[in-house]
A = this chain, B = another copy of it.
């Protein structure tokens, strides 16, 4: 199969087919984006109103919650799929606010270990419970027996995109 890279093959009767495929993929993308921004906007709003908190801060705490012994700072950008530079001020503020600690490793002075404080864990658990309830409320109308199927399809999308990216990276 030829790899379409920039434009649909203009040479043949398949141009129309290619356009149609583009549209189908674009439609999927637009739906993904619409669902995500709808939900994200509402979650953001509630985090702010109810806890005066932001989602990126919550995401950092969520990663730390399952790591009793803390986490190397460098793990965060990978897990949260954000850039490292972005995290610096977010982690700074979480430290200032007493939710996490940042300790330089004494094996390698470049490395920092971050760890949730007792207070941070308590706050996080409270917010996580709301977070789950908010999602359940927002998605309540979507039939529960279709959840797993949808999650599976999204896993496949994720896998497909990851593979496509990896492929390209080797170029």
List chain A positions with a Cβ less than 8 A from chain B. 3-8, 18-19, 21-29, 31-42, 81, 129-133, 135-144, 146-151, 153-165
Residue pair B35, A151 in contact (C-beta under 8 Å): no
Contact of A5 among B27, B133, B161 (CB under 8 A): B133
Residue pair A160, B140 in contact (C-beta under 8 Å): yes
Residue pair A81, B4 in contact (C-beta under 8 Å): no
Chain copies in complex: 2
- The smallest C-beta distance from A162 to any residue of chain B, in angstroms, reads 7
Residue pair B158, A35 in contact (C-beta under 8 Å): yes
Contact of A158 among B34, B153, B159, B165 (CB under 8 A): B34
Closest to A132 in B: B22
Cβ contacts under 8 Å, A162 to chain B: 38
- For the residues of A in contact with B, the DSSP-based class is helix
Q: CA separation between A11 and B8, bound complex, in Å?
A: 60
Residue pair A26, B150 in contact (C-beta under 8 Å): no
Residue pair A3, B137 in contact (C-beta under 8 Å): yes
Contact of A139 among B25, B137, B140 (CB under 8 A): B25
A161-B138, A162-B38, A164-B137 as given contacts; A154 in contact with B6, CB under 8 Å: no
Besides A7-B130, A141-B160, 17 more A-B contacts (Cβ < 8 Å) are A22-B132, A27-B147, A28-B150, A28-B154, A29-B39, A39-B161, A137-B164, A138-B161, A139-B160, A139-B164, A140-B160, A140-B164, A141-B163, A149-B153, A150-B154, A150-B157, A153-B153
